[in-house]
Structure 1
Amino acid sequence: MADESDPRRADRVDLHGGDWLELNRALWDELVPIHVASAMYDQSDLRAGTARLLPMEQQELDQLLPDGLTGIRVLHLQCHFGGDSLAIAQQGASVVGIDFSKPAILQARALASEVGLDGRARFVHANVYDARHILPEPESFDLVYTTWGTVGWLPDLHEWARIIAWYLKPGGALYFADGHPTAHVFDSSGSELPKFVYAYDTDGVADIVNESDDYADETATTTNTVTHEWMHPLSEIVTALQGPASPSSSCTSTMRCRGRCTTRSSITATDFMAGRAKSGCRWGCRSVRARKTAAIRCNTPCSTVFWRRVVTFCCRSARSRGVCAARDWPERAARFALPQTP
């Protein structure tokens, strides 16, 4: 159990300022030009007028919004330099992107102007926890969108969920996609299989990370290396999202690891991500900062409705930044004789 007086605990963190915010912001300010120049964040499709989100996201949003994005008002939280925001705008939506990095917001505005979307996309410089004061537009968005490595930078998910609920119109929807938190307990180096290294539940205490490499450009070295990152179990995420509508609601989650697609939870693991996906085992290779993914095959069909037999598996690359050791997982699983999914 964590020390209740620990200043790194989420309930003792000043959500509007302090070392955690300034250190994290300094890193993301520095990462903007690195990511803009990287192949991972290539914007060629956006410039060609054909931008789309990741296939999983695009498919799920198409099913969530069968009439398309035209006329839909979208709030993109933690939008970085706006690539995904503009991909949504290019499909007809009106988008407001929020990010705590001023260089990211300036780059997003410049990119929007370059591709002729500045009339449909607006970018606001704000810490998520200050958003209601900087963008006072309650119940004005049809969709709040936030994906891949966002909540790990936020100490208080209950306040995050209240902000989302405050912005959504009655009947509006949240689209939240991220790796399953159980994936974040792993780390790996070199050609090793991922190992259990980190706690699944840190009781709200931040991990202080000191690393100089970057997930989007393996050749880059950052000078702002110290960050505060939070591990949020699935139960915490879902309970927070249930909270604004039902403050007394709660849930728990469990996991077991047998080297394959075996994540379980007491609630459906993906319902909160897209509002329509059935229960399943989504292991995302995007811990807090890394986007590297590796598709693997389950011996038994993965019950995640959109991914079916394909599921992503993650090493804790927020720490290692190395190539995910699960890339050739089927061969490694056979070599190491890992148990099969029952």
Structure 2
Amino acid sequence: MAILATSYMGIPLKNPIIAGASELTRNVETIQKLEAAGAAAFVTKSLFEEQIQLERFRLEEELSRYSELHAEMTNLHPAMKHAGPKEHLMWVKRSKDAVKIPVFGSLNCVSHDTWVEYAKMMQDTGVDGLELNFYANPRDMGLRGSAIEDEQIATAEEVVQSVSIPVSVKLSVFYSNPLQVISRFDQVGVKGFVLFNRFFQPDFDVDAEKNIFPFNLSSPVDNRLPLRYAGLLYGNLSGDICSSTGIFQGKDVIKMILAGAKCVQVVSALFVNKITHLQTLTSDLDAWMDQKGYQGIEDFRGKMSKKQSKDPWTYERGQYVKLLFEAQNILKEWPQA
């Protein structure tokens, strides 16, 4: 039987499959099921700064709604203070205490100071590492892309310097040059790179003419993007790559490791196939390694990365040219009606 153990940001994992942040990682019952099904670790559902701000606003609104109805009521009730992130952090600590596998705390903030403040508070819960979700939603046409990148990297650097546990970043692909940005994060001490974040996008109900916000699961074809970047980054970073998005089958896990990833995160596959699908993923990986004669993960990690690939066109623009030369095969596979 193959040895599936690996590590991520220096943290030992029993296998390379991590349950990513989602509704499944927001209560003790489901995270214990994740552990029992074979998850090597899990990422807590994110602490969103905007959620805390909205809760504070709603509390203030409720407390002040009738405060001026009668003058004598103005000071009838004492002022109440919103708990801020403390309730979420208490739950994270409870989750950490409920399992034996590593736990990564997820943060999604807006302001520079809040990133640092919440990171310190999250560390105090006992989590093994942090995952910073950097999500820029530009609304100003005059804002340069480099300014967004500089701010994110400066924030990550201060967080790294402010905590003693390893810090990862979960990134989008919407940078002009993701490779250069990831390299800069690597240089300031970020230890892990989760590729890539999957954002919730708005949609319209054209009949009702109103906004709707569907829950967007990934699909298997989505894994080609993290596959490409894992292959390009392998051997060029001090930190570790964790591939995310479109990981549904054991072969998807294998592909990411062949490209150079240390581990993967799964979410959509667990919603589609239930939590017990983790057992299928690990057993498929184990069977494939036995078939190939690999004793451990490092025996084949990065074997098909750009650095190790025997095909110089795999990660280049020339691959598109090769596809054009073989266009007739497309028509054979999908004949026109």
TM-score (norm 1): 0.31
Look at both structures and tell me which one has the larger radius of gyration over its CA atoms. Answer: 2
- Decide which structure has greater helix share: 2
